[in-house]
């Protein structure tokens, strides 16, 4: 084998560990017991066996078992088989079956940062993936040994260290490696060769017309690190960013949880505030991050205090898949806020109200969002934050709000406009049946307490941009061509920032009604019963209705699928997968998949000591 062709076995070997179905034995430890106590970002899976069984109950899993998706499923299975054969050959393993390993029990992911040593340097990163491999521990070790040996064959330098009842293996890659007397290669050149081989291997098998160039672009973003570090202790496998990080994990494992992240304030708070026995848990430890990066930086301390985030607790989140019959997934999050009188705490702690859409949101809405913010108070607090950080900047900000008018007067954006705005902010996307290009509507609206103030704003719009007309005592402002069909609206109590003309007109007709609309939709009410009755923010999506409309749009030609990939290589692949595979162009009978789509709702609530997030997604039963 040409020694310049260094395989990317590291990535693909471990991909097999992470992506294989997770069916095995019970967990021995809580995931937070697997990682060191100084974690700033933490992710844990309590039991991969239980999670794997739950995933098999998901509608998405069942969708790919449906005969309607046979072509797509077979394409991905073919790709998976080819990649396993490729990785096994590169690693000189007996057969692809040697790669059939998966985590058993708990999995913990840990990330910590240290301030940069130089003024404009990058922070030092400490990260580790810790997996209980159970009965597959020995096979996992064989895969890692093969990866290490292949790395050595291509110029990597190996060293080992025993510590805390475990072993650490490190392989270092220099920027320029002397592979032989005649050849010297950059450490990333062999990886690029392997990427080219993979694209040639599976590029023609990508389902839904995903172009090879999109895959090439995505994979080419990867680079080999300067070193890779593995560690082992009993049935636990560790992939770490450095030897020191691996050593820290091994010491944590040896202590059997003592001094681990399980003893942190964040994990204890998660146990008190969020639902018990969640399958997945995540923490962003804001207090630890703030303390680390502001300890010796007075300017940072001052800014953090002005923002008010020094009184914030860690961001906590837990989730479970199919926790009960009829529920696809449930999630809950919480962040404590110590000071609600200033800064971001004051902005985030919005008043709660009933989880009920206004009648202006029609019953056929497939998307709805409402945020009960007070724009005037929010803007006042933003000015106060800027002023606390820099009084001169605060004064300049205030001055910039004053706009001279042609008649010699001035218009103060803050006092003459924003001060008259009220909550809530409401957005809606509706799609009527049967779907056509004209049967959708959307709007984004906000409350106000002075129509006179808005009339002044409208009068300042240059002629030709908007065509103003009266409707039932309200004002409709139609956008001039070439964006016909888009309008704005002004009523005695609301300003509609933007919307389709039909939605704006419908809003005006329905405003002021006490009943009707999405609030009486059975699907919305079904979800609302599963969440808190009061909230400061709500998001609702009817996935089944949205999917049906998207399929119809694709069939009617409103969704273009022959355009080059957008938004970079990763976005390009997503674009093609969504447009081709899930909008009816890669499936013979896309209507058969409507029954697997979900309705979901999330709420944000202000509590006495912080803000709480609740999420639920409704599971479609197998026979629906």
Query: Is the distance from CB of 339 to CB of 307 less than 8 angstroms?
Result: no
596 confidence band (pLDDT: 50, 70, 90): confident
Sign for the CA dihedral angle at 194, 199, 201, 202 comes to positive
Share of the chain above pLDDT 90, in %: 59
16 pLDDT exceeds 80? no
- Lowest-pLDDT choice from 60-64, 345-349, 358-362: 60-64
Q: What is the pLDDT of residues 500-514, one digit of tens each?
A: 999 999 999 999 888
Looking at the fold, whether 501 and 608 belong to one and the same domain comes out as: yes
546 pLDDT exceeds 70? yes
Using the 3D structure, point to which of 263, 295, 326 is the last residue of a domain: 263
Q: Is residue 269 part of a domain?
A: no
Q: Is residue 337 part of a domain?
A: no
Looking at the fold, whether 14 and 159 belong to one and the same domain comes out as: yes
Q: What is the pLDDT of residues 191-226, one digit of tens each?
A: 778 889 999 999 888 776 677 888 888 888 877 788
Closest C-alpha to 375, from 420, 317, 434: 420
- If you average pLDDT over residues 388-404, what whole number do you get? 93
Closest C-alpha to 314, from 257, 259, 273, 371: 273
Per-residue buried b or exposed e for 284-296, using 16+ beta carbons within 10 Å of the residue's own CB: bbbbbbbebbbee
Q: Is residue 145 part of a domain?
A: yes
Q: What domain count does the chain have? A: 2
Q: What is the pLDDT of residues 515-541, one digit of tens each?
A: 889 999 988 999 999 999 999 999 999
Looking at the fold, whether 373 and 498 belong to one and the same domain comes out as: yes
- If you average pLDDT over residues 278-282, what whole number do you get? 97
Q: What is the pLDDT of residues 160-194, one digit of tens each?
A: 999 999 999 999 987 655 545 554 555 566 677 88
Using the 3D structure, point to which of 263, 287, 311 is the last residue of a domain: 263
Sort strands 537-542 and 599-607 into parallel, antiparallel or unpaired: antiparallel
Looking at the fold, whether 381 and 238 belong to one and the same domain comes out as: no
Looking at the fold, whether 121 and 16 belong to one and the same domain comes out as: yes
Q: Is residue 279 part of a domain?
A: no
Looking at the fold, whether 259 and 354 belong to one and the same domain comes out as: no
Using the 3D structure, point to which of 214, 243, 263 is the last residue of a domain: 263
Looking at the fold, whether 415 and 542 belong to one and the same domain comes out as: yes
State how far Cα 581 lies from the chain centre.
21
- Tell me the C-alpha distance between 225 and 80, whole Å: 25
Looking at the fold, whether 211 and 74 belong to one and the same domain comes out as: yes
20 confidence band (pLDDT: 50, 70, 90): very low
Specify the pLDDT at position 188.
62
Specify the pLDDT at position 438.
58
623 confidence band (pLDDT: 50, 70, 90): very low
Looking at the fold, whether 355 and 259 belong to one and the same domain comes out as: no
Q: Is residue 43 part of a domain?
A: yes
Q: What is the pLDDT of residues 147-157, one digit of tens each?
A: 999 888 878 89
Q: Is residue 275 part of a domain?
A: no
Report the SS3 class of residue 105.
coil
State how far Cα 153 lies from the chain centre.
39
Residue with the larger pLDDT of the pair 381 and 186 = 381
Q: Is residue 291 part of a domain?
A: no
Looking at the fold, whether 258 and 356 belong to one and the same domain comes out as: no
Specify the pLDDT at position 434.
67
Bridge partner list, 337: 312
- Tell me the C-alpha distance between 251 and 240, whole Å: 14
Specify the pLDDT at position 515.
84
- Tell me the C-alpha distance between 384 and 441, whole Å: 38
Residues 6+ apart with CB under 8 A from 291: none
- The range of the structural domain enclosing residue 183 comes to 9-263
Looking at the fold, whether 464 and 355 belong to one and the same domain comes out as: yes
Looking at the fold, whether 363 and 245 belong to one and the same domain comes out as: no
Q: Is residue 578 part of a domain?
A: yes
246 pLDDT exceeds 50? yes
Instruction: State the average pLDDT for the chain.
Output: 85
81 confidence band (pLDDT: 50, 70, 90): very high
């Amino acid at each position: 084998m040409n020694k310049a062709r260094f395989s990317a076995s590291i990535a693909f070997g471990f991909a097999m560990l992470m992506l294989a179905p997770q069916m095995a034995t019970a967990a021995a430890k809580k995931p937070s017991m697997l990682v060191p106590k100084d974690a700033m970002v933490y992710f844990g899976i309590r039991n991969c066996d239980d999670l794997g069984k739950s995933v098999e109950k998901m509608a998405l899993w069942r969708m790919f078992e449906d005969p309607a998706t046979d072509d797509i499923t077979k394409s991905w299975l073919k790709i998976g088989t080819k990649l396993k054969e490729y990785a096994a050959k590169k690693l000189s393993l007996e057969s692809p079956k040697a790669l059939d390993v998966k985590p058993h029990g708990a999995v913990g992911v840990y990330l910590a940062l240290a301030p940069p040593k130089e003024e404009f340097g990058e922070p030092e990163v400490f990260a580790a993936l810790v997996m209980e491999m159970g009965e597959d521990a020995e096979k996992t070790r064989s895969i890692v040994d093969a990866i290490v040996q292949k790395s050595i064959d291509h110029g990597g330098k190996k060293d080992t260290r025993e510590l805390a009842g475990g072993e650490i293996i490190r392989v270092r890659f220099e920027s320029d490696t002397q592979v032989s007397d005649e050849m010297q290669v950059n450490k990333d050149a062999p990886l690029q060769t392997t990427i080219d081989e993979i694209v040639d291997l599976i590029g023609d098998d990508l389902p839904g017309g995903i172009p090879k160039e999109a895959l090439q672009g995505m994979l080419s973003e990867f680079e080999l690190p300067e070193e890779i570090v593995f560690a082992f202790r009993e049935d636990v496998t560790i992939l770490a960013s450095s030897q020191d990080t691996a050593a820290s994990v091994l010491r944590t494992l040896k202590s059997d949880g003592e001094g681990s992240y399980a003893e942190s304030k964040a994990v204890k708070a998660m146990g008190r505030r969020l639902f018990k026995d969640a399958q997945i848990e995540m923490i962003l430890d804001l207090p630890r991050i703030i303390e680390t990066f502001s300890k010796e930086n007075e300017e940072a301390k001052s800014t953090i205090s002005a923002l008010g985030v020094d009184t914030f607790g860690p961001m906590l989140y837990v989730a479970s898949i199919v926790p009960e019959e009829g529920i696809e997934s449930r999630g809950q999050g919480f962040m404590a806020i110590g000071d609600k009188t200033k800064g971001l705490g004051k902005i985030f702690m919005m008043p709660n109200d009933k989880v009920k859409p206004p009648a202006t949101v029609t019953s056929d809405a497939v998307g709805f969002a409402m945020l009960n913010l007070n724009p005037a108070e929010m803007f006042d607090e933003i000015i106060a934050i800027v002023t606390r950080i820099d009084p001169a900047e605060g004064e300049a900000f205030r001055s910039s709000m004053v706009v001279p008018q042609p008649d010699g007067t001035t218009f103060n954006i803050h006092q003459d406009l924003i001060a008259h705005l009220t909550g809530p902010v409401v957005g809606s996307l509706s799609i009527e049946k049967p779907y056509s290009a004209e049967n959708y509507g959307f709007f984004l609206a906000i409350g106000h307490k002075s129509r006179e103030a808005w009339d002044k704003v409208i009068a300042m719009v240059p002629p030709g941009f908007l065509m103003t007309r009266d409707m039932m005592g309200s004002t409709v402002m139609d956008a001039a061509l070439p964006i016909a069909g888009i309008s704005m609206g002004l009523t005695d109590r609301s300003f509609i920032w933007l919307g389709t003309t039909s939605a704006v007109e419908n809003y005006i007709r329905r405003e002021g009604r006490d009943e009707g609309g999405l609030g009486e939709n059975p699907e919305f009410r079904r979800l609302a019963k599963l969440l808190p009755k009061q909230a400061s923010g709500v998001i609702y999506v009817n996935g089944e209705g949205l999917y049906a409309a998207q399929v119809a749009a694709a069939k009617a030609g409103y969704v273009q699928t022959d355009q080059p990939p957008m938004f970079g290589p990763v976005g390009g692949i997503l674009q093609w997968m969504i447009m081709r595979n899930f909008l009816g162009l890669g499936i013979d009978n896309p209507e058969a998949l409507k029954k697997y789509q979900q309705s979901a709702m999330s709420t944000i609530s202000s509590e006495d000591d912080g803000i709480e997030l609740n999420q639920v997604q409704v599971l479609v039963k197998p026979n629906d």
